Amino acid sequence: MKKLIKSCYFLIIMLIIYVPIATMIFLSFNSGRNVDDFTDFSFKWYKYLIEYSPFIKSITVSLFVAMISTVISIIIGVMACYGLTRIRKRTANRWVRVANIPLINADVITAVSLMIIFVLAGIKFGIVTLIAAHVSFNVPYVIVTVLPFMNRIDKNLIDASRDLGGTQRQTFFKVILPILLPSIITATAISFAMSFDDFIISYFTGGDQTNVSTFIYTAKKITPYINAFGTILVVTIVLIILIWNAIQITTQSIKENKLKIKNGTYKLKEKSNLEKKIIYYKKCIETKSQIIVSLNLFYWFKYKFLQLQYKRLSNKNLNTKISKLEWKKEILLEKINSDRKAQSVLAKYEAKKEQIISKNKNKKIQNFDLLIQSIDKKIVKFQQKVDLIQEQKIESQKAIEQLQKDIEIYKEDLSKEKNPNKKLTDWYNAKINELNAQIIILKEGKNNYKLKQTIDKLGELKNKIENRMLSKYNDLQVWKRKVKKIVSFGHRFDTKESSNNLSIKKEQLIENKINKYTSLIETTQLKLDRLENKVSNKKEKYFPEVISEEVVVKNNIWIKRNWRKILMSTSVLAAFSLFTTAYILNNSYDLIIGNWGSYIAPGVIEGFEKQEGIKINYQQYDSNESLYNKTYTFDYDIMVPSEYMVKKLAEEDKLQKIDYNCIKKVNKPGVEEKGACQFESIEQKDYKDSNGVTAYTIMDGLQNILDKTKINVDESILDYSVNWFWGDVRMAFNIGTDDGNPRTELINFMKERDLFLNSNEEEDPFKWEINPEKLSWNILWEAADAGFDLKLNEDPKNVFMYAFEKMYGLVDVNSTEESEKQNSAQKEEKIDAAAVEISKLLNHSNVGLYGDNIMDAVHAKNYDIAVIYNGDLIWATAPDFSSDDDDDDTSSDEQATINKIDEEDEWVYTTLSATPQFKHDDFKEGTNVWSDNLVFSKTNKNLELSYKFINYMNDYDIQKKQVEEATAAVLSEELKDEIIGNDENKEGWGDPWTQWYEPITQNAKPFGFDKKWDNYLVDKFNQIISTKH
């Protein structure tokens, strides 16, 4: 049972470790976007990974930083270990404790500390700070790994090196370093893995350098190309381990073979088999007979079964009875010898005491009293044991006398019996024999008697087994003769009547057999000669003989002795050169862009780089606040912040105004004709795209939203930015199950609130529409009370918007419109009141807050009501979309998958969505419409290239790729018409794009910005979250 529990425990641990890895590998071949279902087998995401240059560049950064920091850490760590072994142990232990601080310290504390040091030192954040930070946490791992090996080095080896005239440098490189090599390799692997995998410290100190972990963390959506990258990483690690093990096994095999060659046992078994074959073939020719094998399966089964039985009997270890008796015999011998030894040791110490006393009479011995005292203690100890043995003997003698008296009594009682029957006589005799046996045990000693009994049993058992073995051996020989018969060459003719014709055939057969075996002897002898030559050559290679004192065989060539070191050094230098070259080629930048994760389609950056012949440093961030903090440590050329962060940066004079004369692909609202651009290369270029259109119009709804964000009172956000993506916050209702059945409970809940425009019972409920004028944010509170599963966007400002809208018709308290302006007291009052309502909502156990993983929940239909961005809702519910331009690149398998999804898709018909437009007496509810906008930093070093990038990104085909990648709306009115089907020449992209692509701007507003009250709101939000169960 214990073994079963241990095995199950180990199995569970293995499952916990390897099941997620296996799942990741399996899902990396999924052609779909979501992780909760497997659509079809495809290498789509591996292709995506290769084409996604920002991610490939992050891999290059990770490899380069890991390699450089590992080399530096190994050098510093090994030198530190060498130094620590040359100072006092107490001092060394103190320094080791100091070095171990980064190991026990939280990574975030280390990261913040390093960031502060770099800021105070005035060091620009980038590759230098990143490598320095990685070295700081890698060195302790090197010390922890190498120092124990350093402490175990025999000091005599170092002394011997010095005695032979070796300098400190020679001693280190030729004695110490080879001993430390295994630990250095281990430390290198640990350091490289820790550096490659690091996120927190890299996030704080990386500056313009984004490694893999940071890139993945800042991605808005975890798309399956991450699984493809993980699979490649796992396969690489497995291959490295297999190659390393193969090298180790080969090396060990070579060493064993060398030892066998030296001892003369190399290929001995193979050689012996060949010699046996030759002897057999010769014997066949001499006796004119051969062994033939029986084809009777029963004979073979019986023969093999007897072989196994005989082998089992021959193996002493398989006989548990013999093993137990042998073990018992050894224990008894040990006890007997211990008793005898006690007496001899006692006599030895007594004699030694007398000898010391006699010597002391002639000449005073130093520490005489201490010696006598020590010997007396030992004498007392062994005397007690001897006395105990004597007492046992006396007690045994008394017991023997008592038993003899009892025997006499039994004999006397038996003699007094008159005509005793056989039963009574046997009883007395049995008692007398039993007492005699006890007397024998007491006379011989209990242990001696048990030993004698054990030896007798052991002998009997061995004789029994030997007899069985002999019997089995005889049976085995009998059956062996049945399965392997010895017959003459002409045995087929022996039973037939003799005639001249048969005699001739028999002689001919015998001659053929002799020729056959003669040929076999020659062939086998040839194999044996080759084998002996091979062994001889290897022996000559590894252990050459010196012919004379003047001749030295030069077999120990330097390259042969050091080929491993040469190979390792060459590999390291090649990897260093490769990664350094790749890093340098990918870090000679002409333009630095900061953007949200998953906000650029694969191939877009590469296309612009190829078009202009330049390099782009593309950085990702995960929040506006993160971007804002990075502006203090790093200078971007282009950024894509949200509307309220554009306002903040512009009012802090960190942005440049946009010259729309240089943006040929976008028409600024209110400007009928563009002027001349200051850059001639832009002015002279023809920007007509595949549609024959030069400039596109900003969507009316987007323009209205952007105009609501004022900068310095009289300026618009359009003066400082060009829109990248925009969208709204909306509700989604899951009214259908996976198998397409309506969810009546939620439908009835919505009917009670009159939320449907058309709710004809005869019609498919999935084709109903929600009446936004009947929909209020208050339904979240009602649904939570009713026990429905609510999945809400976790952004603090969005969460408070739910309450602001239902209570005041505001998205926040930072509005700059005259009718909605609030003083400080009003802002605090409204935030506090909203916090009370939000607390009531979030205290329900059926209400959850989600980040980007809300898309997975919506896709899996694991919700009743969700609050989600319209772009994320499209991502979660739409089938994989392929534009007309990509049809030629779509494989038949992928196209079949897409068609299958189109036929079977039920998302569009089971998910209903709308934005609240409920009208109160004094206000009307709405929602937040967000926009992320491209801006130029004040420190922009290449304005001409920046304007070219804007024009490139607003090309119709590029905008289409962007929409497909991020499923968010762009500024182009023309592209919107194509997607939702307003363009007469194009069919549109179908549901859900048609329904939800264009954000709802009616009564919608963007978030404002007020540092004080935004921080106050976030504090309130954190207080609510901390008390949520």
Does position 411 have pLDDT exceeding 50, yes or no? yes
State the Cα–Cα distance between residues 621 and 889, nearest whole angstrom. 32
Q: Who has greater pLDDT, 990 or 145?
A: 145
Q: Which long-range contacts (CB under 8 A, 24 or more apart) does 917-921 make?
A: 917/772, 917/773, 917/775, 917/1002, 917/1003, 918/773, 918/774, 918/775, 918/776, 918/777, 918/778, 919/773, 920/809
Q: What is the pLDDT of residues 1010-1023, one digit of tens each?
A: 888 888 999 999 99
State the Cα–Cα distance between residues 338 and 328, nearest whole angstrom. 15
pLDDT-derived band at 34 (thresholds 50, 70, 90) equals low
Asked if residue 699 lies in contact with residue 971, where contact means CB atoms within 8 angstroms, the answer is yes
* Domain identity same for 45 and 179: yes
- The reply to whether 229 falls in a domain is no
Q: At what angle do helices 127-151 and 89-99 cross, to 10 degrees?
A: 140
* Domain identity same for 673 and 807: no
Q: Who has greater pLDDT, 814 or 176?
A: 176
- The reply to whether 18 falls in a domain is no
State the Cα–Cα distance between residues 538 and 518, nearest whole angstrom. 30
Q: What is the pLDDT of residues 438-460, one digit of tens each?
A: 777 777 777 777 777 777 777 78
* Domain identity same for 847 and 792: yes
Q: What is the pLDDT of residue 546?
A: 57
Q: What is the pLDDT of residue 388?
A: 81
CATH number, position 154? 1.10.3720.10
Average pLDDT rounded to a whole number, residues 401-425: 83
Structural domain count of the chain = 6
Those residues whose C-beta lies under 8 Å from the C-beta of residue 464, and which sit 6 or more positions away, are none
* Strand, helix or coil for residue 374: helix
Residue where a domain terminates, one of 387, 416, 444: 444
Min mean pLDDT across 72-81, 315-324, 765-774, 998-1007 is at: 315-324
Does position 758 have pLDDT exceeding 60, yes or no? yes
CATH number, position 656? 3.40.190.10
Q: What is the pLDDT of residue 901?
A: 42
Top mean pLDDT of 460-469, 508-517, 902-911 is at 508-517
Those residues whose C-beta lies under 8 Å from the C-beta of residue 324, and which sit 6 or more positions away, are none
Asked if residue 147 lies in contact with residue 103, where contact means CB atoms within 8 angstroms, the answer is no
Does position 47 have pLDDT exceeding 90, yes or no? no
Q: What is the pLDDT of residue 17?
A: 85
- The reply to whether 753 falls in a domain is yes
Does position 647 have pLDDT exceeding 50, yes or no? yes
Q: What is the pLDDT of residue 891?
A: 42
Q: What is the pLDDT of residue 503?
A: 77
Asked if residue 195 lies in contact with residue 70, where contact means CB atoms within 8 angstroms, the answer is yes
- Read off the tokens for 163: 């005695």
* Domain identity same for 409 and 506: no
Q: What is the pLDDT of residue 763?
A: 66
State the Cα–Cα distance between residues 1005 and 816, nearest whole angstrom. 11
pLDDT-derived band at 841 (thresholds 50, 70, 90) equals very high
% residues pLDDT > 70 (the chain): 88
In 631-775, where does DSSP find H-type helix?
643-651, 680-684, 700-707, 744-752
Min mean pLDDT across 552-556, 565-569, 808-812 is at: 552-556
State the Cα–Cα distance between residues 233 and 227, nearest whole angstrom. 10
- The reply to whether 460 falls in a domain is no
Q: What is the pLDDT of residue 721?
A: 92
Q: Who has greater pLDDT, 792 or 204?
A: 792
Min mean pLDDT across 24-28, 200-204, 350-354, 361-365 is at: 361-365
| Arithmetic mean of pLDDT over the chain | 83
Q: What is the pLDDT of residue 437?
A: 79
Q: What is the pLDDT of residues 274-289, one digit of tens each?
A: 999 999 899 989 888 8
CA 826 to the chain's CA centroid: 52
Q: What is the pLDDT of residue 74?
A: 94
Q: What is the pLDDT of residue 817?
A: 66
Q: What is the pLDDT of residue 990?
A: 82
pLDDT-derived band at 779 (thresholds 50, 70, 90) equals very high
Shortest CA distance to 259 belongs to which of 543, 530, 533? 543
Does position 332 have pLDDT exceeding 80, yes or no? no
* Domain identity same for 173 and 191: yes
Q: How many CB atoms lie within 10 A of CB 240?
A: 11
Q: What is the pLDDT of residue 907?
A: 43
Those residues whose C-beta lies under 8 Å from the C-beta of residue 947, and which sit 6 or more positions away, are 659, 662, 663, 677, 679, 682
Q: What is the pLDDT of residue 342?
A: 78
* Domain identity same for 732 and 844: yes
Shortest CA distance to 900 belongs to which of 28, 37, 141, 127? 37
- The reply to whether 15 falls in a domain is no
The single-letter code of the amino acid at 322 is I
At which residue do the structure tokens 């010696």 appear?
371
- The reply to whether 456 falls in a domain is no
State the Cα–Cα distance between residues 949 and 946, nearest whole angstrom. 5
Question: Do the bridges between strand 696-697 and strand 666-667 make them parallel or antiparallel, or are there none, so unpaired?
Answer: parallel
Does position 563 have pLDDT exceeding 70, yes or no? no
Shortest CA distance to 729 belongs to which of 803, 792, 806? 792
Q: What is the pLDDT of residue 317?
A: 52
Q: What is the pLDDT of residues 119-164, one digit of tens each?
A: 888 888 888 899 999 999 999 999 999 999 988 888 888 888 888 8
Min mean pLDDT across 87-101, 557-571, 942-956 is at: 557-571
Does position 888 have pLDDT exceeding 50, yes or no? no
- The reply to whether 345 falls in a domain is yes
Q: What is the pLDDT of residues 725-740, one digit of tens each?
A: 999 999 999 988 767 7
Those residues whose C-beta lies under 8 Å from the C-beta of residue 1008, and which sit 6 or more positions away, are 644, 647, 709, 812, 814, 815, 816
Residue where a domain terminates, one of 414, 444, 474: 444
Q: What is the pLDDT of residues 667-718, one digit of tens each?
A: 877 766 778 888 989 888 888 887 778 888 888 888 888 888 888 878 889 8
Does position 327 have pLDDT exceeding 80, yes or no? no
% residues pLDDT > 90 (the chain): 23
Q: What is the pLDDT of residue 908?
A: 44
Does position 904 have pLDDT exceeding 60, yes or no? no
CA 395 to the chain's CA centroid: 71
Q: What is the pLDDT of residues 918-935, one digit of tens each?
A: 999 888 999 999 999 999
* Domain identity same for 419 and 534: no
Average pLDDT rounded to a whole number, residues 519-523: 93
Residue where a domain terminates, one of 545, 579, 613: 545
Min mean pLDDT across 145-159, 427-441, 644-658, 710-724 is at: 427-441
* Domain identity same for 757 and 636: no
Instruction: Give the burial string for 1000-1023 (b: 16+ CB within 10 Å, else e).
Output: bbebbbbbbbbeebbebbeebbee
pTM over 0.85: no
Q: What is the pLDDT of residue 375?
A: 81
Q: How many CB atoms lie within 10 A of CB 122?
A: 6
pLDDT-derived band at 191 (thresholds 50, 70, 90) equals very high
Average pLDDT rounded to a whole number, residues 202-206: 85
pLDDT-derived band at 80 (thresholds 50, 70, 90) equals very high
Q: Who has greater pLDDT, 572 or 119?
A: 119
Q: Who has greater pLDDT, 1024 or 892?
A: 1024
* Domain identity same for 512 and 608: no
Does position 461 have pLDDT exceeding 60, yes or no? yes
* N-terminal to C-terminal alpha carbon distance within the chain: 40
* Domain identity same for 835 and 691: no
Does position 118 have pLDDT exceeding 50, yes or no? yes
State the Cα–Cα distance between residues 618 and 518, nearest whole angstrom. 80
Q: What is the pLDDT of residues 585-633, one digit of tens each?
A: 666 778 989 998 878 888 899 899 899 988 888 888 888 888 888 888 7
- The reply to whether 851 falls in a domain is yes
* Domain identity same for 639 and 565: no
Average pLDDT rounded to a whole number, residues 480-496: 77
* Domain identity same for 349 and 431: yes
Q: What is the pLDDT of residues 288-305, one digit of tens each?
A: 888 888 888 888 899 899
Structural domain span for residue 143: 31-223
Give 594's strand partners: 619, 639
Q: What is the pLDDT of residue 965?
A: 87
